[in-house]
Amino acid sequence: MDLSRRQLLKGSLISASALALPQLTMALGSGAKYDYHITAEPGLFDIVPGGTTPGLGFNSQFPAPVIRCRQGQEVAIKFTNKLDEPTTIHWHGLRIPIEMDGVPFLSQPPIQPGESFIYRFTPPDAGTFWYHPHMNSLVQLGKGLTGVIIVEETEALPFDADVVIGLKDWRLNQDGSFLPLSIPRNAARGGTLGNVKTINGMIKPVIEVPAGGAIRARFANMDNSRTYGLSFKDYPAVVLAEDGNAIEAPYPLVKRKTGSGMRLDVGFIAPSNVGDEVIVYDQKGRRGYYEICRFRCIEGSKKPATKIPKLPVNPIKAPDLSKAKKINLVFEWAGALSPTKKDGSVDHVFWTINKRAWEGMMGGKIPAPIATLELGKSYIINLHNATPHHHPIHLHGHTFTVIKSNKRPITPYHTDTILLAKNERAQIAFVADNPGRWMFHCHVVEHFKTGLMGYITVA
């Protein structure tokens, strides 16, 4: 369906059991200089049965409003900070100007309580992306400040349903109050996992889809730590896009590991009988299938679909591998080493990039980049995960091509986040065509908060 920004924005065709994602209306009025207006503010969420969670939400809601815009068309989003601390919004996966990237001090001053900022950009790529703060990330993301932004293709595609599936864990007591969001012992390993898994803010929801319809399911992992093994088990489905980038040759979905910050667009034809269901699993190992949600067929208004529409590939510049300069980045584990500050408190540092831990930044104090790239040149970056844990490594402002790995066969594909297995060596390549200072970090929040973050300069 071709959705205008002047219409109510709906994340998907959802079950009748109150699963509808929040709606977002265009900020109308003569002389309006923005298309949407969103806020960050405290809210009360119904996550666990019988309990209330005092979280943080965009428009004080969870799930957050799904923002929809269109490839090649400018969008402006007025953001107002109603928290009691500074914040920003990062538009994860979007190739936009550095001034709009939402990293405090590196790309913009922090947005203070009560202040507003207008994010204005023209997305060159269609796909599934997401948005979140880049300040006090452990708390602000952990308590609910995450949302999906969808960039529609220039031409509407003939899917019968377009479903947003936001994956997020919560660390909650039975009454809905928060448990500690981070445990240092876990931060030094795979990350502190949540104890309540949700899809669009609900536990094992049922999502209605038209019987026999061609379905586009947009999975977005907005969790602080967890990696999902997304699987439909025995039901036929294909991967249409990885991390917002359409695949030239869609392939069958068996199990796809999806780390924090990563997205997966899956296409399937729903069963033709009303009441039939398709279950989505988080697969662990070969035989461990754990349901996270299910699709239930309702009466459709069209004839059963015979094929799944193919997505157009985004306009990503191909790097010149024969002339590309090579850069080596080694991600290492500092283990239990915890330097002590002058006041005796522990300064947890567990991770490094090229033997250097991220030391943080503030106005007037920006650390040196981990690499400086020449604008317009091609680069190959050799990534070495010399740790015993997985890391979803994310680059801001660019889309790269994964070309090689020592752990798995690679058919080159475009992405902004690569999930590196323990001891994996992988090669990525891209054209440094977006000037600015761009964060390059693990998207397990505890990992980048304890060292596994840096930035590259493109100039």
What does the pLDDT profile of the chain (459 residues) look like in tens digits?
222 333 323 333 344 333 345 545 444 333 445 689 999 999 999 999 999 999 999 999 999 999 999 999 999 999 999 999 999 999 999 999 999 999 999 999 999 999 999 999 999 999 999 999 999 999 999 999 999 999 999 999 999 999 999 999 999 999 999 999 999 889 888 999 999 999 999 999 999 999 999 999 999 999 999 999 999 999 999 999 999 999 999 999 999 999 999 999 999 999 999 999 999 999 998 889 999 999 999 998 778 899 999 999 999 999 999 999 999 999 998 765 555 566 666 566 788 999 998 888 887 789 999 999 999 999 999 999 999 999 999 999 999 999 999 999 999 999 999 999 999 999 999 999 999 999 999 999 999 998 899 999 999
Amino acid at 389: H
For residues 408 and 294, membership in a common domain is answered with no
With the CA atoms of 200, 206, 211 and 212 taken in that order, what torsion angle do they form, in degrees rounded to the nearest 10? 60
Sequence-ordered list of residues with C-beta below 8 angstroms from that of 441, at least 6 positions apart, any chain: 358, 393, 394, 447, 448, 452, 453, 454
Closest CA to 12 of 128, 122, 95: 128
For residues 114 and 183, membership in a common domain is answered with no
Q: Are 302 and 160 in contact (CB under 8 A)?
A: yes
For residues 129 and 171, membership in a common domain is answered with no
319 lies in a domain? no
Q: How many structural domains is the chain composed of? A: 3
331: its two tokens: 């991600």
For residues 129 and 166, membership in a common domain is answered with no
98 lies in a domain? yes
User: How many other CB atoms sit within 10 Å of the CB of residue 24?
Assistant: 25
CATH code of the domain in which 253 resides: 2.60.40.420
For residues 225 and 348, membership in a common domain is answered with no
Confidence (pLDDT) at 188: 87
Radius of gyration (C-alpha) of the chain in whole angstroms: 21
For residues 121 and 213, membership in a common domain is answered with no
For residues 251 and 233, membership in a common domain is answered with yes
197: its two tokens: 């898994």
Q: Are 92 and 146 in contact (CB under 8 A)?
A: no
For residues 428 and 350, membership in a common domain is answered with yes
CA distance 283 to 82: 39
Q: Which residue range is the domain that position 137 belongs to?
A: 36-152
31 lies in a domain? no
406 lies in a domain? yes
For residues 279 and 215, membership in a common domain is answered with yes
For residues 204 and 147, membership in a common domain is answered with no
Closest CA to 209 of 268, 264, 251, 128: 268
Confidence (pLDDT) at 51: 94
Phi then psi for 288, rounded to 5 degrees? -90, 105
Domain boundary pick from 281, 298, 315: 298
For residues 239 and 280, membership in a common domain is answered with yes
344 lies in a domain? yes
pTM for this entry: 0.91
Domain boundary pick from 152, 183, 209: 152
CA distance 309 to 267: 8
Domain boundary pick from 152, 177, 198: 152
CA distance 63 to 12: 13
For residues 71 and 92, membership in a common domain is answered with yes
Q: Are 299 and 318 in contact (CB under 8 A)?
A: no
14 lies in a domain? no
